[in-house]
């Protein structure tokens, strides 16, 4: 009984060990449930030949094995499922051609997802929604007056003759203003997370949208000593909710910026892949530990002193609304690439599909 496969076969998640060349060296019994293939029938074959689902194949096609990666894919084979796919690189490599370099773990999260949707009403999120929507809303107005009054006072102070007192007041006012603005952003984050999601797609030019997001963030990136490289190919116009995507993209950029406290390089890439768009933002910042990568979508999960832990949630909601996915590739100390993918739906099909378009 020292054959580990006995244990691996007892697990509910599909597990596949692959070689450097992406050849399946081992597959456990649960690949039958998750991928619809018999474990014995796929060992020795390239992984790409074993995947019968088009979407899954596309998602896994370009991923390497060098870093931890978690992604989610909607598949229609062997049945309609939502799979969470985790790629876990193996530490020990002995350089032999048939030695495993990574485990790929397929978890069926459809039930988790569908009940998660039902449960949202009672969940942490819904409680938060009720509580914070009220509080955040109430905070908004006084905060705005504080900021406005502080701005006015700052202007008045500037007109006073120079003195030590003036300098001190100006300094303190600057702190009041910047902290109130930070508070305002937190309140806005809470309100966004608390608001029920509305999905209003209209024909959008994604490249323009990306340019706009970069333009908004440019001063902040510049102040942080972060260089920007963008490779934005044109994407055919498609039905997208610009507001949702703008919020998501800005959050991705902001997280990347915050991961590079000493400055760095941010690379944004936009391309079309089949009927999907693929937008990636790469930073060479601090990266994520495995724990962070696992918990990143939990509401309020943050590793930052002044974070709210609501940004990723916003990104996730936006991508889910577009039937899209978020892929996160990260290495501690090296950096992170966040890739957003979603289908580019054309107007005609949407009008037929859309329940609102009556």
Query: Which is nearer to ligand ADP, 145 or 306 (by Cβ)?
Result: 306
Rounded distance between C-alpha atoms, residue 14 and residue 107, angstroms: 6
- Other CB atoms within a 10 A radius of the CB of residue 8 amount to 18
209 lies in the binding site for ligand ADP (CB under 6 A): no
Residues in the chain: 358
301 lies in the binding site for ligand ADP (CB under 6 A): yes
Interhelix angle 311-321/164-194, rounded to 10 degrees, is: 40
Give the helix ranges, DSSP H, for the chain: 4-10, 31-34, 39-42, 47-50, 54-61, 110-119, 124-159, 164-194, 206-223, 242-258, 290-295, 311-321, 347-353
303 lies in the binding site for ligand ADP (CB under 6 A): yes
CB of 255 to ligand ADP, least distance (A): 3
Considering only 28, 255, 280, 325, the residue that binds ligand ADP (CB under 6 A) is 255
100 lies in the binding site for ligand ADP (CB under 6 A): no
Rounded distance between C-alpha atoms, residue 358 and residue 349, angstroms: 14
Rounded distance between C-alpha atoms, residue 289 and residue 67, angstroms: 11
Query: Which is nearer to ligand ADP, 36 or 307 (by Cβ)?
Result: 307
Residues pairing with 335 in the sheet: 331
Q: Which does 39 bind (CB under 5 to 8 A by kind): ligand ADP, Mg ion, none?
A: none
Interactions with Mg ion, residue window 307-326 (CB under 5 A): 311
CB of 136 to ligand ADP, least distance (A): 15
What one-character DSSP code corresponds to residue 164? Answer: H
Select the residue whose beta carbon is closest to ligand ADP and give its number.
311
Query: Which is nearer to ligand ADP, 52 or 331 (by Cβ)?
Result: 331
Q: Give the footprint of Mg ion on this chain (CB under 5 A).
A: 255, 311
Q: Give the footprint of ligand ADP on this chain (CB under 6 A).
A: 251, 255-256, 259, 283, 285-288, 292, 296, 301-304, 307-312, 336
């Amino acid at each position: 009984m020292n054959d580990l496969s006995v244990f691996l076969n007892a697990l509910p998640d599909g597990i596949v060990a692959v070689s450097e060349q992406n050849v399946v060296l081992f597959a456990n019994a649960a690949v039958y449930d998750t991928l619809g293939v018999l474990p014995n029938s796929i060992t020795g074959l390239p992984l790409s030949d074993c995947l019968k689902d088009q979407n899954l194949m596309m998602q896994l096609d370009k991923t390497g094995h060098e870093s931890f990666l978690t992604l989610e894919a909607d598949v229609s084979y062997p049945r309609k499922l939502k799979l969470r796919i985790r790629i876990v690189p193996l530490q020990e490599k002995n350089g032999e051609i048939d030695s495993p370099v990574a485990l790929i773990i397929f978890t069926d999260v459809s039930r988790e997802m569908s009940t998660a949707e039902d449960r949202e009403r009672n969940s942490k999120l819904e409680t938060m929604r009720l509580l914070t929507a009220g509080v955040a809303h109430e905070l908004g107005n006084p905060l705005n007056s504080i900021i406005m009054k502080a701005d006015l006072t700052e202007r008045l102070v500037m007109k006073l003759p120079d003195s030590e007192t003036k300098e001190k007041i100006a300094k303190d006012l600057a702190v009041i203003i910047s902290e109130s603005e930070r508070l305002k952003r937190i309140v806005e984050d809470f309100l966004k997370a608390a608001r029920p999601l509305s999905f209003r797609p209209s024909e959008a030019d994604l490249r323009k949208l990306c340019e706009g997001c970069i333009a908004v963030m440019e001063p902040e990136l510049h102040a942080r000593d972060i260089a920007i490289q963008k490779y934005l190919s044109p994407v055919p116009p498609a039905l997208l909710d610009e507001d949702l995507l703008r919020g998501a993209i800005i959050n991705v950029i902001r997280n990347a910026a915050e991961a590079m406290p000493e400055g760095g390089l941010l690379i944004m890439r936009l391309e079309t892949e089949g009927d999907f768009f693929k937008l990636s933002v790469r930073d060479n910042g601090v990266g994520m530990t495995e724990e962070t990568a696992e918990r990143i979508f939990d509401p309020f999960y943050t590793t930052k002193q002044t974070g709210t832990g609501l940004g990723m949630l916003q990104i996730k909601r936006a991508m889910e609304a577009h039937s899209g996915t978020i892929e996160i590739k990260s290495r501690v100390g090296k950096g992170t690439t966040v890739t957003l993918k979603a289908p580019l739906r054309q107007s005609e099909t949407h009008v037929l599909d859309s329940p609102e378009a009556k």
